[in-house]
Amino acid sequence: MIVGYDSCKSKGGMRFVITATYNDKYSKFYSEKFKLKNDTNNVGPIGDMLYHCLQNFKSKNNIFPQRVIIFRSGTSEYEKKLYNLEINQILEMESNLKLNIKFTYLHVNKKTTLKFFESTTDKENRTSYCNPSSGLIVDSGITNPDKYEFYIQPQFVAFNCGTATPVHYEVLYDSIELETEELQKLCFYLCFYYWNWDGPVRLPAPLKFAETNNAFVSKTDNEGVTHPNLVNSPYFI
Domains by residue range for the chain, with CATH: 2-109+169-220 (3.30.420.10)
**More reliable by pLDDT, 222 or 229:** 229
- pLDDT at res. 52: 94
pLDDT digits (tens, 9 = 90+) for 169-213: 999 999 999 999 999 999 999 999 998 888 889 999 999 999 998
User: For residues 59 and 188, what is the distance between their CA atoms, to the nearest angstrom?
Assistant: 29
- pLDDT at res. 161: 67
pLDDT digits (tens, 9 = 90+) for 100-143: 899 999 999 998 888 888 887 777 777 778 778 888 899 999 89
Average pLDDT estimate for 161-165: 75
Q: Over the chain, what is the mean pLDDT?
A: 86
Radius of gyration (C-alpha) of the chain in whole angstroms: 19
What is the biggest distance separating any 2 CA atoms in the chain, rounded to whole angstroms? 68
For residue 101, which of 49, 206, 2, 175 has the smallest C-alpha distance? Answer: 175
End-to-end CA distance of the chain: 21
Position 34 confidence tier, pLDDT thresholds 50, 70, 90: confident
Secondary structure (H, E, C), 184-201: HHHHHHHCCCCCCCCCCC
- pLDDT at res. 174: 96
Residues 6+ apart with CB under 8 A from 237: 195, 196, 209, 212, 216
Q: What is the pTM of this model?
A: 0.89
> CA separation (Å) from 67 to 27, 30, 40, 209?
17, 17, 32, 20
- pLDDT at res. 163: 74
For residue 203, which of 195, 214, 213, 192 has the smallest C-alpha distance? Answer: 192
- pLDDT at res. 76: 65
Residues 6+ apart with CB under 8 A from 144: none
- pLDDT at res. 197: 84
> CA separation (Å) from 3 to 24, 44, 89, 144?
13, 15, 15, 26
**More reliable by pLDDT, 234 or 158:** 234
Which among 11-25, 80-94, 159-173, 199-213 has the top mean pLDDT? 199-213
